[in-house]
Structure formats: C-alpha cells, structure tokens
Structure 1
C-alpha cells in the first residue's frame, strides 16, 4: 500500500491540488474507486468542488464520505450487525438513569446527581474516556496515583462505578459514537469496497494524504 503526503502551510492550496489530482485520476482510471474522507460538515462542499472541476461534471467513481458514513457503508456491505448509535442526548439520559439507580453507591456523585448540568459533565468525561480507549484499568491507575488526595480519590472511584454501570447498560443494546470507528476497524479486512481503492484524507489536522489500497 503506497501512501502519499501533500505537505504545505495552511491556505497554500493543498486541498485544491488534491481535488484536481483525484478528479483527473478518476477520469483516467474509471474502474477504480476513489474515496475522499472529510469532516462531516464538509462533505457537500467537497462534492460540489469535485463536480465543478470534473470534465464531465460528474463523480461516478469518486465518493466523498465522512468516517462515520463510510463506517455504515462498510457495515452494510459486510453484513455487520450495527447497534443503534447513541447521540449526546441519549448518553446523558442513560447516564442519568444509571446514576440514579446507583445513587447509594456513589458517595460523591450521589449527592450531586440532581444538580442541573452535573450529569452532562460526567458524560463528557466518560465520552473522552471512550474516545481515547481508556477502560476501568485506566481509572484504577488514576485512583492509585491520587494517593492521599481523598476528594479526588472519591471522585475517581465514583467515576469508575458510573462508567461500569454505563457500559453494562449499553452492552448488546447500543454503541456510542466514539465506538463506531473501533467497530469499523474490525471489519475493514472483509470489505471488497476498500480493496484496491484510493483513499484520500482531507482537512484532518490540515494534512491531505492519499493511500492506495
């Protein structure tokens, strides 16, 4: 698999250059699929730009996708059973239910769970844990590192209880948006769509790059 990087400072035309390269190659290699991965909010803009610069005003073998949309495309192709994905509101509601059920097990969080915005703060922390792949063992390390800091230790112990309850509630029923790419990584080898295609990553840390599968 060859990887090509397009380097340059911000505003120096990297995306412009990549769009033209992809459009030209797509015309020459009509049997190959080109997948451009962009942030969700940029998909329509990039599609429009590709259509405008394409000689036939079309993108028949070019797909502009976000990571999440590509994930669902691959799930459908590979027959992967995808569980409902929780948005932020759903996570907050489930976490609130879990915290209420475990209120007596939470000496620190239990007395604050009814405060406005408190559950949302805990949800944000748990979301970051899931995003960076931190499991309960990671919290155990934090608890040990807290040492004699009693207040911090209680918070972390409550966070561990809340995290375990939240994950137990989700098991076999839901996945969070942070877990979609983890599930995707497990089924990528089964995908025929991704085999021998050209994948371009755009506007991710302002560094366009292409990979030929």
Structure 2
C-alpha cells in the first residue's frame, strides 16, 4: 500500500482528530497540520471520554492520541474507538514520551496503529500521520521493535503461540515474520521472490486469520509468538 504524499490532488484530505489535555500542544499540532493541503483537523478533545465522543461525531481517518489524560486515558480511549464497529476506518497514532514507554505495547494491543515520541520533528509527525492513514504500521525509530519485544517476551508461551499460528500456511508464517521485522510489501516480495501484490495478499490473509486490525497488530503477534526475537 502506498503512502499518500503531501499535496496529493487525487484523494480527499486526511481527517485528523487531535487529543491532548494541554491546549498549547493541541494548538501547535493544529498550526502544523492546517498548512498541509492533504490534511485537515476535524476536531479536538481534552479527555479520553471526549476523544471517543469526538471520534463518533467527526469520523476521523487518524486520531492523534495522547496517553495521560483525565477521566479516561489514551489507552482506554483507543480501546473504545477501535472496538466501535462504526469506526473501523479510524486509525490511532499514539504520542508517547520516554517515561511512558511502558504504555506503548498496551496501546498497540488496544488497537493503535503506531506511536511516535512527543518530541518528534514536524516532518516525522506529518509522515507518521500519512503512514497510519494509509493503513500501515508506524514504529517510532528511536523506540522501535526492541521496545515491543521487551514487553511481548514476558507474554510468550510456546504452546499457546503454536496454537495461534496453526491457522496460517507456511508461507503466511514467513510473511508474518517479515512484517514483524518492519518490512513493506515490496521488501517482503523481494525477500521471498514474490510480486508485491502476492505479498500483500498473504499479509491480508494473515490479518484475517489472526483477527488483526492492521499491520501494527501483526507486528505484535510476530513477537508474541516468537516468530521475531530481539
């Protein structure tokens, strides 16, 4: 799946909901996003409860989600949004700081499509929104898969993992392992001597069989089941 580029004229703007309890942070994000032709801010929320309500009201493509908020935190709000049948197309991009790293895996399990550090530069943030809107997983470069591995390693049980993977064909297991390593469909195709379209089909089949919402959750499964190790 290709990632939309800035200024693309052949697609509707990416609709973004900003969720953060700090007004200055929201204002900064809005100023950055409002000047982009392919992104539009459709709402703001200051609490997790408000985030869920705003998501239902505005139907955003991407929710830029803070973790620490009153009433309902970002993890709970993410879980509520991704569980809503009428918000299946909404993707969650979680913002975190070094002292909230422990929440990242929980956020991905809740259905988030990726995460970024709060001190990410403007270009990194814009790229992240576009990647997630395109249905891809986003793992922050400075935390990446080692962080996920740190938490999933504690939850891996060999027998349970084998039962979970039993639904996949041998080829789908290979593809899942490469998704877990962060490879794109093009890279998977090159590694396995497949066309990108065939690689994409295998990824889609694995998602359906494993009940994964998107590629981010496939990454988590790859670590949980031991297909990818630190």
Q: Same fold (TM over 0.5)?
A: no
Rg (Cα) greater in structure = 1
- TM-score normalised to structure 2 length: 0.27
* TM-score, normalising length: structure 1: 0.28
Higher relative contact order (CA 8 A, sep 6+): 1
